[in-house]
Amino acid sequence: MQTIVKKRLCILGSTGSIGTQALDIVRAFPDHFEVIGLSAGTKLDLLKTQILNHTPQWVMIRDNAAREALRTWAATLPFSLHILDTEADLTTALSDPALDVVIMAIVGTAALIPTAAALLVGKTVGLASKEVLVAAGDIMMDLARRHGGSLLPIDSEHAALQQCMTSLNGDSSQLSRVILTASGGPFRTRNPVTFADITPAEALKHPRWQMGPKISIDSATLMNKGLEVIEAHYLFDIAYDNIEVLVHPQSIVHAMTESIDGNIIAHLGPPDMRFPIQYVMTYPDKWIAPWPRLDITQMGALTFEPPDFEAFPLLKMAYACGRAGGSLPLVMNAANEVLVSHFLAGRISFLEIAQGVEKTVVHFSGRHVQTLADRVALDIEVKRHVSQ
Ligand code: MG
């Protein structure tokens, strides 16, 4: 009889949209995965449910009050549960040789330090936090290369690209360009003259994907696609001139590659994140997915159009910051993170997100820092500046 070797994983950001779907996949393959660790921000009740379902060895919760409540509750459990207090504790936990895969689903640049820690000890990191690559893609790719780890994208377009690229047989000089598709978000057909009146509730209503609030707003401004252009640049080492974005409202084709001989390979799938998450969690193997498949006879017409860079200036801004390089993508991303939270809280208008990002990028345009510690410090400085 064949013995199944379990993949042992931890999920950082386990109570968010990607984290809960990663646990759906664990439950779909109970004999194939073992959950070693979980971390959450504030959602204590959901974290407790996950602990009971998956009996991890360790957990972490960012919120201080929640951590104390968790400690009291953990003492009543019939199994031992280690509660991590500090970032240093997490770094130690990530260096456990028994750990195979780290699913990084913490929102925003809070994922920078733990991602670096996992790569430093040669882990395979499934990265859903694209902000990490935007802020420090050069550093992260270098860490992965030097320490034998790998970064696998938990992003539908990039997981799709990775699969399209297998047709190149590892020879990237055969690649002519890549195309990332964008749904266009909820305001694709709305008159830009009315963009000032957009409410958070309207912006959160994504036409195709069910996602967390931050990425939903980024999809409405097309900042998400801009971040993905930078993500693709670092992940696959592609020049910005060779990364194209096309609006494809049906969200069936996730990405395409065109080789130098003009042949185009497209990746199709339903708009369901469980497919790219499973792809990463089982990589390089493929396991039989239990999720509803794409019915090609039912998908209807597929359309593609160039994005409107005037109505959605953050996409243009992302290309400009990406090309400028240095710390500018970090500055753009940090400003965007704060401004999105301000928009969600009703403090600024939809248009003020892009205006604020542009102002911040101009303000910090001379600032370039190299090390991860300096990048983290600059990220904090930019966020403080934008908050004021
Ligand atoms: Mg995506």
d(CA 83, ligand 1 centre) in Å = 32
Q: Is residue 77 part of a domain?
A: yes
Q: Is residue 373 part of a domain?
A: no
The model carries a pTM of 0.94
Q: Is residue 354 part of a domain?
A: no
- Kindly report, residue by residue over 199-219, the tens digit of the pLDDT: 999 999 977 777 789 999 999
Q: Is residue 388 part of a domain?
A: no
Residues 105 and 220 in one domain: no
Which stretches of the chain drop beneath a pLDDT of 50? none
d(CA 156, ligand 1 centre) in Å = 5
d(CA 264, ligand 1 centre) in Å = 20
When divided into structural domains, the chain yields a total of 2
d(CA 51, ligand 1 centre) in Å = 28
d(CA 357, ligand 1 centre) in Å = 21
- Asked which of 153, 170, 204 is the last residue of a domain, the reply is 153
Residues 136 and 54 in one domain: yes
Q: Is residue 253 part of a domain?
A: yes
Residues 209 and 316 in one domain: yes
Model pLDDT, residue 126: 98
> For residue 142, what are the domain limits?
7-153
Model pLDDT, residue 356: 98
d(CA 27, ligand 1 centre) in Å = 24
Largest CA distance in the chain: 66
Residues 52 and 176 in one domain: no
Instruction: Please give, one letter per residue, the 3-state secondary structure of the chain.
Output: CCCCCCEEEEEECCCCHHHHHHHHHHHHCCCCEEEEEEEECCCHHHHHHHHHHHCCCEEEECCHHHHHHHHHHHCCCCCCCEEECCHHHHHHHHCCCCCCEEEECCCHHHHHHHHHHHHHCCCEEEECCHHHHHHHHHHHHHHHHHHCCEEEECCHHHHHHHHHHHHHCCCHHHEEEEEEEECCCCCCCCCHHHHHHCCHHHHHCCCCCCCCHHHHHHHHHCHHHHHHHHHHHHHHCCCHHHEEEEECCCCCEEEEEEECCCCEEEEECCCCCHHHHHHHHHCCCCCCCCCCCCCHHHCCCCCCECCCCCCCHHHHHHHHHHHHCCCHHHHHHHHHHHHHHHHHCCCCCHHHHHHHHHHHHHHCCCCCCCCHHHHHHHHHHHHHHHHC
- Asked which of 153, 172, 194 is the last residue of a domain, the reply is 153
CATH number for the domain harbouring residue 122: 3.40.50.720
Residues 217 and 141 in one domain: no
- Kindly report, residue by residue over 92-145, the tens digit of the pLDDT: 999 999 999 999 999 888 899 999 999 999 999 999 999 999 999 999 999 999
- Asked which of 127, 153, 179 is the last residue of a domain, the reply is 153
d(CA 155, ligand 1 centre) in Å = 5
d(CA 157, ligand 1 centre) in Å = 5
Residues 224 and 207 in one domain: yes
Residues 244 and 115 in one domain: no
Residues 124 and 223 in one domain: no
